[in-house]
Structure 1
Amino acid sequence: MNPIPPLCVSLGDPCGIGPEIVAAAWRAVHDDAKLAFCVIGDASILSTQGIPVTVIAGPGDTGAGFADALPVIDRPLSQPAVTGRPDAAHAPHIIDWIEHGVALCLSGEARALITAPIAKSVLYGAGFRFPGHTEFLAELCRPHGAEIAPTPVMMLAAKDLRVVLATIHTPLKDVAASLSGADLSYLIRITHDALVRDFGIAAPRLAVCGLNPHAGEDGTIGTEEIDIIRPAITSLQNESLSVSGPFPADTLFHDEARAGYDAAVCMYHDQGLIPLKTLDFWGGVNITLGLPIVRTSPDHGTGFGIAGKGQARADSFINALRQASAIAANRSLTGAAA
């Protein structure tokens, strides 16, 4: 039998907390062969984190020595990284590490990609033209000859809560104008399919938040629920999807409410992220839906201000490893791709 391809990690910004949390994750899981992972990055940086490191030629060399040392596909920086001091000179390398990770997943040499945090401001000076990490990954996954890349969906997960966002980093004053029934329907369909394929839920239940207080209260506190959200829900219900709402967001996230759905569809960033981070501030995971590869990441940024100070926690990164492994296993059961 061929060995199961390993997980693959892109190191992210080498000046942030990425090297620390990757090293801490290896310490936590190095005796669990199911979570064996290799890192694409600069091996010399990881060797300063107080763990044994071994340079490997490719993902196929990950498993044999994972219990004894962190396997690294060494693609070194052109100049040293200074902890806590982001440097645009590293941008081409950070981009290369991500590109290589995606290529390994597309080729089947790795079964999932876990991305350590990046800072977009560092990358823009190198010609990076994407709004964020996720959009870049979608472009890298664009099929040969296709005119457009897949449209990914961001899911955040913590404990028993999964949320997806209809708008992400949109200013609050622009959220209402950014909503559309077509986009909302697409988001819900992608989420439904991912819950089946990636999470093994045969009949997913989705709950949809309203935009306004009290979900608009029959149009007296806003009409987006009547004009946009409810018609999209009704259309999807007619397709036999189990979708309900729109619900007032302030009643949707307590313990009893969460038992009634498998994912919540939120209209804007803080509507979903505040309950998720209240439930599990340190352990949330970012999961990208709608791509042909499995991708997860920790639900936090580069942490330049705490890098190298022994304050970074690896909870989210470790959970990202576990989520990626579980999703890849669920996909392999059906041979499904996005």
Structure 2
Amino acid sequence: MLQFGSDSKIATLPSGIRIAYRIFPGKSKVPLFCVHGLTGNLKNFEPIAQGLSKKGITVIVYDLRGRGNSDKPKEEYSARVHAQDLKELATILGYSKISILSHSLGAWIALRFAEKFPSFLEKAVLIDGGGELSIKRKISNLLMIQGSLARLGRRIPSKEIYLQEAKKSPLLSAWNMNIQNFLLYELESVGILSPSLIPGDNFYGPVICSIPPFVIDSELKNMGGAMRPSGIVARLFKDPKEFFKTVQENKIMPYSALRCPVLVLRALKPNFKPGDELLPSSAIEKMKEKIQNLKVYELTDKNHYESVLLEDKERDQEIFKFLKS
């Protein structure tokens, strides 16, 4: 079922997976593909995409598999799997070279894309993600995102209540229609009223977030985490060899694969408390050390979620200047 407010198209990849996408046309020969975060969808980047499109940049936003209108198979989910999907999507749409604008998990995907297809990548923008972190810091970050995971699998009486709960989140200091559209897009109706009796895009009765919990659990497992901290301990005891193998694989990021210019946008505003930012200073220093053509821009008044959900003309101008340089 297409989500609320959907105006996306569907591309069927060679793997058989169907991916939902939307193109914001421009005159640039190299398009910008926007890769959202763990519980995001293509609506995350639409406001930025609209602005860049007006300035002549062709922008493609899409739903990762497991989100929005894209397929949600009961298979493994990982940054490498998403990187392959992105390559296939870009090829189907007729592109042999792309730039990437990514957020959070999307930054991991961008790095794995660079690792697998280095010559395919023109430029990369990593927003608040892709850092090399200690195990302690990873656990801290996992605890920080628990609030955003709480909505998964929950049956909510109505979309109005769903939005009311979101508005109360301490992670957002402001509210706008872009955030509302992003949240409505991820909803599915679980009411008993026949779809033929529902006018337009309205929801009647109970709703649920369309992201299956097994999708997020698989993503986190492949990053050495779990939906709940207790799950990390359980995986450690169940298969310590496999657990430490996963941790080791994610310990060092493939920065050397980035042969293109890179812009990192770092959110400095605390999410809940000072020092809980997702890209600590230590991670930024490692990026500066290992990524040759790197520029860092700091978002002093935004946290991890606000870095893409809230409007910011200076942020958007910085991205545009980087892409045009």
Whichever of the two has the greater Rg, that structure is: 1
- The normalised TM-score by structure 2 is 0.30
- The normalised TM-score by structure 1 is 0.29
Higher relative contact order, chain-length normalized (CA < 8 Å, sep 6+): 1
